[in-house]
Structure 1
Amino acid sequence: MDILIGTLLLLIVLVFFTVFSYKAPYGMKAMGALANAAVVSYLVEAFQKYIGGDIIGFSFLGELGHLAGGMAGVAAAALVCLALGVSPVYSLMMGVACAEMGLLPGFFAGYIIAFLVKVIEKRFPAGLDLLGTVIIAAPLARFIAVEVSPLVDATLLKIGGIIDQITSSSPILMGIILGGIITVVATSPLSSMALTAMLGLVGLPMGISAVAIVGSAFLNYVLFDRLKFGSRKTTIAMTIEPLTQADLVAANPIPIYVTNFVGGALSGIVVALFGLINNATGTATVVAGLVVMYGFNDPVKVTICVLICGVIGIVCGLLGSYVFRNFKIVREEEVRGRGQEAA
């Protein structure tokens, strides 16, 4: 029952953010900004705190990573405002107003308050718009972030706790579910980094997520190369960071999502059997996820596990390209050509 509840709650969260991406005003831009906020905060934290600080032992880098991780709310609010067309000064002002807040509270505050700031910029006379933003918008942004925080803790972090408990009792089953879902999320408009950070995943669940993403890099290279989704540059970009190809993935969801789910689920089983952990939340990304794993586990075990997951990715990529060989593929020139015509 716990497995069913945890999986259902996770799917509800994914559905919510997917609907938000496609249906909310500027939803896709806002979700892109959320992913970028995870990069500028959690990715810096992962590299500098856990690698530079903990593994290498450079305290300066460790402090840098710690501070960067604590700026997630600031980054989210500021980048979302920028993405929605707010001026850089006011965007950063909203970000500063969300200091010491988490990634998701900063995201919601930035998204909601951006519409108000744009009205202030448009309607208020020159000079008064600054006062209006300082007096009205900044406190309101802080208020929204503070009020949203308990809801986030009560829902997303609760889901993360359930996933952690389930993984302890049924590691292989959760390896299948979590490995499959996270790799699909990594290729969707959502961000695997943002999702794992929002859920507060650590330990084996985070280890499954991180290594499954590494395995999916091999899978996506083979799949994109054999099905000719785009140029070699596009294929390499998809391998390193799938978010850069979100428009192309959205145009071809079935072959990409199905193949990634299967490959991610199989990789999740392997990681669960190896028992690899990752206590750096939010590091579900190819490069950081791979490197950070060496800081929490035996290097030999990590290397063997990653190599196995890489082979699984290659095999699943080959199988996916065969299964979907006659599937109608919307290629890069069609997707981006339409965007240029619309522009």
Structure 2
Amino acid sequence: MQMLIGGGTLLLLLVAMILFLKFAPYGKSGLEALSGAACATFLPQAFLSYVIGGIFNISLMQHIGETLGSLGGVAVGVLTCLKMKVSPVYAVIIGLVLYDFSLLPAFIGAYLISFLLKFIDKKVPEGLNLIVVILVAPAITYGIATLINPGITMMLQGISNAISTVGDSNPYLLAAILGILMPVTGMTPLSSMVVASFLGITGNPMAIGALTCMGASFVNGVLFKRLGIGDWPKSISVGIEPLTQIDQIVKYPLQLYSVNALVGIVNGCIVTFSGLIIDAKGVATPVAGPIVLFGFNSPMESVITIVAVAINSFVWGFVFSIIIKHFNLINIDFKSLFKGKSKSSSN
């Protein structure tokens, strides 16, 4: 029952984020702010605290990393307001108010208050608007975040518990689930880093998230090059960071998402078998994730697993590119499928 509830909650969360992206005002900008905040806090924490500070035992770097990792609420508050074209001064005020909150409640609070800030800036005379913002916005923002924080915490905890239950009972099933989820969300504005941070996964599941995202970069690089999706620089760019080529990816969703999901399952099982761990949150990213591995595992085990995932991804990417080209599947999309169905039904 716990797995069903947690899985259903995760599905609803992902659907809600997709709907937000599609229909909410400034939806794409909001999710970009969320992803940017994760990059600005979790990545520096992982590198400085666990890689440089941990491996070389430099306490200053560990302290700096932990400090950055604790400022997720501030980062997402500032970035969300800036993405929504709010005054930088207002953005900093809102970000500082959200110091004690995690990413999601802070994001919702900053997103909602941004509309009020824009209204105040438009309607209140210049010079008086800053005073009105100071008197009104911080309290409202803090109140919104405080009100929704318990519910969001309970929801994310339920998802995290469900993932732990699946991992305890069948680690390879969890590997398959994360092997699909992380690479695919990493190719959308939802961002695999944000999803990983929401789930709160660490240990072997986080290692799965990091290396399956890395594997997806190899798969996408091969598919872009072999299928002629963009030019050679685009193939390199998608291999470094899929989100840089999101405009190309959305043109071929069936081909790219399905191949990455299938290869991700295999890569997830490889990482599960290796037993590697990452005890840092939100590092499901192609380049930084594999590097952070070395802060928690022996160099030899890390290198062997990274090479195995890279080779597996490259080979399967090449094989699927042959299949797609041979059967001319590159031209299939959702619209053509639905047109085909409507024609057959009318006949």
**TM-score with structure 1 length normalisation?**
0.92
Task: Determine if the alignment matches structure 1 residue 81 to structure 2 residue 81.
Answer: yes
Q: Assess if the C-alpha contact under 8 Å between 2:5 and 2:158 holds in 1.
A: no
Report the residue type matching 1:70 in the other structure: S
Deviations 1:279-336 (Å, cap 9, x if unpaired)?
1010101222101112212222221111111111112211332233222289xxxxxx
2 CA distance for matches of 1:237 and 1:178? 24
Residue 207 of structure 1: aligned partner: 207
Residue 18 of structure 1: aligned partner: 18
Superposed, which structure 2 residues align to 1:152-171 within 5 Å? 152-171=152-171
Larger radius of gyration: 2
Superposed, which structure 2 residues align to 1:112-151 within 5 Å? 112-151=112-151
Shift of 1:245: 2.0
Residue 109 of structure 1: aligned partner: 109
**319, 328, 331: which one pairs with 1:328?**
331
Q: Assess if the C-alpha contact under 8 Å between 1:178 and 1:268 holds in 2.
A: yes
Deviations 1:137-171 (Å, cap 9, x if unpaired)?
12211111222221221011320122022112201
Shift of 1:174: 0.8
Report the residue type matching 1:323 in the other structure: I
Report the residue type matching 2:24 in the other structure: A
Report the residue type matching 1:9 in the other structure: T
Superposed, which structure 2 residues align to 1:235-246 within 5 Å? 235-246=235-246
Shift of 1:5: 4.2
Structure 1: gaps spanning 5 or more residues:
331-343
Taking a change above 3 Å as real, the CA distance of residues 135 and 75 of structure 1, as seen in their structure-2 partners, is same
Residue 253 of structure 1: aligned partner: 253
Superposed, which structure 2 residues align to 1:248-287 within 5 Å? 248-287=248-287
Count how many residue pairs are aligned between Structure 1 and Structure 2.
330
Residue 338 of structure 2: aligned partner: none
Residue 339 of structure 1: aligned partner: none
Deviations 1:257-299 (Å, cap 9, x if unpaired)?
1111111111001111112111101010122210111221222
Shift of 1:127: 1.1
Instruction: List, as ranges, runs of 4+ consecutive aligned residues in structure 1 with deviation greater than 3 Å.
Output: 1-8
2 CA distance for matches of 1:7 and 1:267? 21
2 CA distance for matches of 1:298 and 1:135? 54
Alignment RMSD? 1.6
2 CA distance for matches of 1:277 and 1:267? 15
Structure 2: gaps spanning 5 or more residues:
334-347
Residue 336 of structure 1: aligned partner: none
1 CA distance for matches of 2:268 and 2:3? 16
Shift of 1:4: 4.5
1 CA distance for matches of 2:210 and 2:168? 17
1 CA distance for matches of 2:121 and 2:74? 21
Report the residue type matching 1:34 in the other structure: L
Shift of 1:61: 1.1
Q: Assess if the C-alpha contact under 8 Å between 2:182 and 2:213 holds in 1.
A: yes
Residue 92 of structure 2: aligned partner: 92
Segment drifting more, 181-190 vs 159-168: 159-168
2 CA distance for matches of 1:29 and 1:133? 22
